[in-house]
Amino acid sequence: MGSKMSKNNNVVLSKLVTNEQHGENSPYFDGWKAYDNDPFHLVNTPNGVIQMGLAENQLPVYKIEEWIKRNPKASICTTEGIESFRRIANFQDYHGLPEFTSGIAKFMEKTRSGRVKFDPKRVVMAGGATGANENLIRCLADPGNAFLVPTPYYPGFNRDLRWRTGVELLPISCNSSNNFKITIEDVKEAYKKAQQTKIKVKGLILTNPSNPLGTVLDRDTLINLLTFTNEHNIHLVCDEIYAGTVFDAPEFVSVAEIINDDKIRINKDLVHIVSSLSKDLGFPGFRVGIVYSFNDDVVNNARKMSSFGLVSAQTQHLLASMLSDDEFIGKFLIENPRRLKERHEKFTGGLEEVGIKCLKSNAGLYCWADLRPMLKEPTLDAELSLWKRIISDANLNVSPGSSFNCPEAGWFRICFANIDDETVEIALSRIQMFVDANNKVNERGLIKNALVKKE
């Protein structure tokens, strides 16, 4: 694609900023625009669009607010914390405050139940998981190289991993026949196809726990995937930003646990983790992303690259104090999963009552809902048509599976942790009315019972 002229002043812009790789025009982001144009508010705009396409964790925020009130010294913008202002406001290099990187390492250990240790010297900060993912990919691959990614996967990967790096993503097709579980056979097949087309595969990217599925990878699967990447001398990147959102069995197993097992012989230089505080603590606005690599060269070079997207020293200072409060973090990591489980059961139970089934999940801030019975036909066009009607008729922004590269039409991700209890009730009521209207008549005027709950 060549350079384009700016609509405003006829200035020729670069090929990078004018290409379509950002993904802003996908249905995933179009739903956000519908919400922005008419946002729901309990009092001011009660008929507005309810945002259920945003994976934010607002359920434990009150605990954070309580801690901040009890610890005013943690902020340099308070009377109690002003004594640290000059030290923190001065220039900080890209290594990060030692107390911050230590706090991050300790928090990563706690969200993995203390079964693995993390070295603060390997913690590389970035501007959110978006910045961490791009930084890591820039270190591992050149333009034109590719990474294998099991579907469905987070739509933002097309922006984070491809847009500015020139790297390609090669989908590994997973489907509902086995609950979208990735198999080593599927990985081998995708890798073989890439080899046949002369595409250089540099690695495999996993999201564990999964976004959008809300499931975790079991130990045996992780071992098989690690063995495969090791045998082919390619990287394994594990996005573990939802590690602290696991609210039910089976337990989350980090790739760090596998490679620290002395019985498993793996080249650690090929293993890397992306972490964040956006989901586990509910801090997406703080833009705290982490690259954690077991490869010294990757750590050193990712740290240099991080100069373009650091975490502010003020944010580091506050979080260092919070993350070092063992009593608070311990209680938080009990309360957060409890509230997520409660909300998950409430919301998926409400969907079940109107005949909508969800993939069984135990993590994340969303559910993977099966709306295939509501499609006029099993096609992408039918899915997008249904999605548009959900937005226009039910005033709900949910995300169609096609935006997650799902190979099957009719699956939708619905987020439930970014709204309060009253809004959940309103959302469930709207869903019920939409389903009832959809079930009443089909194109021929006959009763349609596809989603009527069976006893």
Whether 390 and 396 have beta carbons less than 8 Å apart is answered as yes
Token code pair at residue 387: 């999605």
What single string gives the DSSP state of each residue in 373-399? GG-SSSSHHHHHHHHHHHHHHS-EE-E
Q: How far apart are CA 201 and CA 210, in angstroms?
A: 22
Q: What is the CB-side half-sphere exposure of residue 374 using CA atoms within 13 A? A: 30
Catalytic residue among 76, 137, 182, 241: 241
Instruction: Tell me whether strands 12-13 and 50-51 are parallel, antiparallel or unpaired.
Output: unpaired
Residue located via tokens 């959940």: 424
Instruction: Verify whether residue 241 is a known catalytic residue.
Output: yes
Q: How far apart are CA 97 and CA 419, in angstroms?
A: 34
Among candidate residues 137, 265, 155, 152, the one with its CA nearest the CA of residue 203: 137
Catalytic residue among 30, 153, 279, 370: 279
On the 0-12 / 13-18 / 19+ scale of CB atoms within 10 A, 307 is exposed
Q: What does the buried/exposed string (b/e) look like for 168-189 if buried means 16 or more CB atoms within 10 Å of the residue's CB?
A: bbbebbbeeeeebbbeeebbee
Token code pair at residue 328: 């608070």
Instruction: Verify whether residue 279 is a known catalytic residue.
Output: yes
Residue located via tokens 């959809």: 438
Catalytic residue among 186, 239, 280, 370: 239
Instruction: Tell me whether strands 366-370 and 357-358 are parallel, antiparallel or unpaired.
Output: antiparallel
Catalytic residue among 28, 154, 292, 366: 154
Q: How far apart are CA 242 and CA 259, in angstroms?
A: 20
Among candidate residues 275, 274, 272, the one with its CA nearest the CA of residue 293: 272
Instruction: Verify whether residue 239 is a known catalytic residue.
Output: yes
Active site residues: 154, 239, 241, 279
